[in-house]
Amino acid sequence: MFQNKNTTPLSELGEFGLIDHLTKNFPLIHPSTHKGIGDDAAVMNFTEGQTVVTTDMMIEGIHFDLSYVPLKHLGYKSVIVNLSDVYAMNAHPTQITFSVAVSNRFPLEALEELYAGIELACKNYKVDLVGGDTSSSTKGLIISVTAMGQAQKQKITYRSGAKPNDLLVVSGDLGGAYMGLQVLEREKEVFKVNPNNQPDLALYSYCVERQLKPEARKDVIELMEELGIVPNAMMDISDGLSSEIFHLCKASRVGCTVYEEKLPADPQTSGTAEEFKINSSTALLNGGEDYELLMAIRTEEYEKIKGHPLLTPIGHFTDQKDDCNMVTGLGQSIPLKAQGWKNFNKDESA
Amino acid sequence: MFQNKNTTPLSELGEFGLIDHLTKNFPLIHPSTHKGIGDDAAVMNFTEGQTVVTTDMMIEGIHFDLSYVPLKHLGYKSVIVNLSDVYAMNAHPTQITFSVAVSNRFPLEALEELYAGIELACKNYKVDLVGGDTSSSTKGLIISVTAMGQAQKQKITYRSGAKPNDLLVVSGDLGGAYMGLQVLEREKEVFKVNPNNQPDLALYSYCVERQLKPEARKDVIELMEELGIVPNAMMDISDGLSSEIFHLCKASRVGCTVYEEKLPADPQTSGTAEEFKINSSTALLNGGEDYELLMAIRTEEYEKIKGHPLLTPIGHFTDQKDDCNMVTGLGQSIPLKAQGWKNFNKDESA
């Protein structure tokens, strides 16, 4: 994407000038940040509550395809996927580190785009970039982000706290990012056949945005605070709903019943699934990268969340350990399948 | 190295079984670790003092060559280089996260070796592995480590605190890792010509170990505590002495004078340099990866460190901003050159 412009080779900036150049616009706004980039380590004041830390690596050709992912979006998303893990602990993100390795096919302007995305994510979520590492790679682009956050001890939500009868609640809607990926992959194939074809993605704008520029559910965490709810258990949905339900049940030693008809979908997701001849429930259950939150909420708190547009109860937990079932639209109960949507390329975070 | 054994493809363990398998031997020993691997994020109690965070990425073909780096050593070293940054802040490391991406040419047994090295480093330095990410790569092995540590606020040492007349002090000796790398690169070339040749590395054991299995200077930090010294400034020497001296002077807005004859070298380093027809001072000044500590120490404290085998004063800081000179063995004063030993592949940590 940078072939036709005047570009600057990375070598022109020298090894230390590069990081200075890329990070000069990043303000430090968080009170817990004492010292950011520029020393052997960043220094933070984490004296209140507990600190959560999570990390994720993203690799070109495995986690993203630069033929349709703009670098600014990639920078943004690479931060978001980590912030999502912080919110999934019911914590507030405070700092990130960002490491990147690039081969010399990337000019400075490519890294500037990437860092513009990081900067926007930091601004939108009020987190500080406090460190990282910039190096060369033999092939492609590699990103590793670590996010830190803070919360009061009694508010932190683990995967292990779900109790029988708790409601299984999901934020937002599901399957959109997966259908967005299908659209982008199809356009890529069309482009290969006819490079002059101008893709019209307007019909799929919601799904494509879910895939390219996901958001982390800061709003949901803030809503739960307003409602005075601390979920018994919580995790984010990065790997597909059904797979995450199994994680939650396994960690909490419970089972669950999910109702197919309750699964929240945007109409565009269902419509796009239909067009692609993909069973809509399959997309909702197994599509990844939605970065919604999955929670166990006490039944006593149902009245607080009832009808809220951000939260959908989709079932309940049971005392049947590891027994996860789905009641279909036809009223049949069938075993839920834990089918991660990718093979060995997903994270077991923390 | 695993071609001739019975090996287990990574796909056999499934995406979540792998991390469980690899990390099952890791105990959590640090009191500040509340929750390690297995949730969306790790949870720590960092309620005392300040927290330091640093991160480094290591990429096959750029930072290491698996034709002569054993995976266990690589795992060990990848942790050490991060702990070294924590010690360079005069802090004590407490937790790490470890992310790895591997192509499918690596069997499970290769990752077990890598994790054996991580485990040993965690044990030796009493840090907890609390998280990470495991994914596939399109090519080669990629490692990203983040280390956390703690210190009392008044003990943390930055690069920016050196004052004119402070002593420039270095721990241990220099150039060994660089000469070890030369030896290993030579043996690799010999092996290409004659694969039956059995390399005899006994003559170079110190240098090779400095390259393959470096240590972080926990002992030096502990010594400074015993001596009651808090350096005015400190950093670790990962990128070569002269380059780091420039960083320290720039951050502290001072200059310095270094005495060539004071530069500490192991006899094996000097001997190997001679054999390779490399100027010994060049190896000491520009060789990287020694992971020694470089400090600014008040002259009043000279008596405390005088003659200590772990610490060598090599010069002093001056009020001539950015003016770094070396007095050669012949008594001439020449400008020091900031010559990182690698090009664009080094870190500006954080």
> Is pLDDT of A175 > 50?
yes
Backbone dihedral region for residue B24 (phi beyond 0: left; psi -120 to 50: alpha; all else: beta): alpha
User: Which of A155, A183, A203 corresponds to the end of one domain?
Assistant: A155
- Inspect the interface and report whether the beta carbons of A40 and B99 lie closer than 8 Å: no
CATH number for the domain harbouring residue A96: 3.30.1330.10
> Is pLDDT of B344 > 80?
no
In a domain, A282, yes or no: yes
Q: What is the pairing mode between strands A92-102 and A128-136?
A: parallel
In a domain, A315, yes or no: yes
Quick one: A143 and A196 in the same domain?
no
Residue among A38, A99, A136 minimizing CB distance to B55: A99
Quick one: B37 and B163 in the same domain?
no
In a domain, B276, yes or no: yes
As a whole number, mean pLDDT of residues A184-193 equals 92
Contact A152, B47 (CB under 8 A): no
- Tokens 């995976």 — which residue? B71
Quick one: B145 and B60 in the same domain?
yes
Q: Which two tokens stand for residue B178?
A: 């660089």
Residue among B19, B135, B236 minimizing CB distance to A40: B236
User: pLDDT category, B9, cuts 50, 70, 90?
Assistant: confident
Q: How far is B204 from chain A (nearest CA, A)?
A: 29
Q: What is the pairing mode between strands A33-35 and A42-44?
A: antiparallel
Q: How far is B200 from chain A (nearest CA, A)?
A: 31
As a whole number, mean pLDDT of residues A241-261 equals 96
pTM reported for the whole predicted model: 0.94
**B249, B324, B325, B327, B341 from B256: Cα distances, Å:** 7, 5, 6, 11, 21
In a domain, A346, yes or no: no
Residue B335: φ, ψ to 5°: -65, 135
Quick one: A235 and A209 in the same domain?
yes
Which one has a higher pLDDT value, B198 or A49? A49
Quick one: B147 and B200 in the same domain?
no
The percentage of chain A sitting over the pLDDT mark of 70, rounded to a whole number, equals: 94
Residue B305: φ, ψ to 5°: -105, -10
In a domain, B288, yes or no: yes
Quick one: A237 and A319 in the same domain?
yes
- Chain B residue nearest residue A139, CA to CA: B139
> Is pLDDT of A108 > 60?
yes
As a whole number, mean pLDDT of residues B277-287 equals 95
Name, in order, each residue with C-beta under 8 angstroms of A141's C-beta and a sequence gap of 6 or more: A59, A60, A66, A74, A100, A101, A102, A103, A106
Quick one: A149 and A166 in the same domain?
no
User: pLDDT category, B345, cuts 50, 70, 90?
Assistant: very low
ipTM: 0.93
Distance CA A223, CA B50 (A): 31
Set of chain A residues whose Cβ sits within 8 Å of the Cβ of B57 = 99, 101, 133, 135, 142, 144
User: pLDDT category, B316, cuts 50, 70, 90?
Assistant: very high
pLDDT score recorded for residue B19: 86
Q: Where are the beta strands (DSSP E) in B137-203?
A: 141-151, 167-171
Quick one: B125 and B149 in the same domain?
yes
- Range list of H helices, chain A: 14-23, 71-87, 108-125, 176-193, 205-212, 218-227, 241-252, 267-275, 280-286, 302-305
Distance CA A258, CA A243 (A): 13
User: Which of A134, A155, A176 corresponds to the end of one domain?
Assistant: A155
In a domain, B184, yes or no: yes
pLDDT score recorded for residue A347: 39
User: Which of B97, B126, B154 corresponds to the end of one domain?
Assistant: B154
Set of chain A residues whose Cβ sits within 8 Å of the Cβ of B11 = 343-344
Contact B151, B298 (CB under 8 A): no
Quick one: B71 and B136 in the same domain?
yes
Name, in order, each residue with C-beta under 8 angstroms of B324's C-beta and a sequence gap of 6 or more: B242, B245, B246, B249, B255, B256, B257, B258, B335, B336, B338
Name, in order, each residue with C-beta under 8 angstroms of A341's C-beta and a sequence gap of 6 or more: A178, A239, A240, A243, A286, A287, A288
In a domain, A236, yes or no: yes
Quick one: A184 and A319 in the same domain?
yes
pLDDT score recorded for residue B15: 64
In a domain, B167, yes or no: yes
As a whole number, mean pLDDT of residues B170-180 equals 98
As a whole number, mean pLDDT of residues B301-309 equals 96
pLDDT score recorded for residue B331: 93
Distance CA B103, CA B11 (A): 11
Quick one: A311 and A251 in the same domain?
yes
Quick one: B141 and B165 in the same domain?
no
Q: What is the distance between the terminal CA atoms of chain A, rounded to a whole angstrom? A: 34
Q: How many CB atoms lie within 10 A of CB A6?
A: 7
User: pLDDT category, A1, cuts 50, 70, 90?
Assistant: low
pLDDT score recorded for residue B350: 40
> Is pLDDT of B128 > 50?
yes
Summarised one tens digit per residue, pLDDT across range A4-33 is 567 888 878 776 788 889 999 899 999 999
Mean pLDDT rounded to a whole number for chain A: 92
User: pLDDT category, B54, cuts 50, 70, 90?
Assistant: very high
**Residue A193: beta bridge partners?**
none
Residue A147: φ, ψ to 5°: -120, 145
Residue among A14, A44, A345 minimizing CB distance to B53: A44
Burial of B309 (0-12, 13-18, 19+ CB in 10 A): exposed
> Is pLDDT of A236 > 70?
yes
User: pLDDT category, A195, cuts 50, 70, 90?
Assistant: confident
CATH number for the domain harbouring residue A325: 3.90.650.10
Q: What is the count of structural domains for chain B? A: 2
Q: In what order do the strands lie in the sheet with A33-35?
A: A33-35, A42-44, B50-59, B141-151, B92-102, B128-136
Summarised one tens digit per residue, pLDDT across range A254-271 is 999 999 999 999 999 999
Q: Which of B18, B89, B133 to mutate to test the interface with A (most CBs of A within 10 A)?
A: B133
Tell me which residue range forms the domain holding B165: 159-335
Summarised one tens digit per residue, pLDDT across range B129-157 is 999 999 889 889 999 999 999 999 999 99
> Is pLDDT of A240 > 70?
yes
Summarised one tens digit per residue, pLDDT across range A267-303 is 999 999 999 999 999 999 999 999 999 999 999 999 9
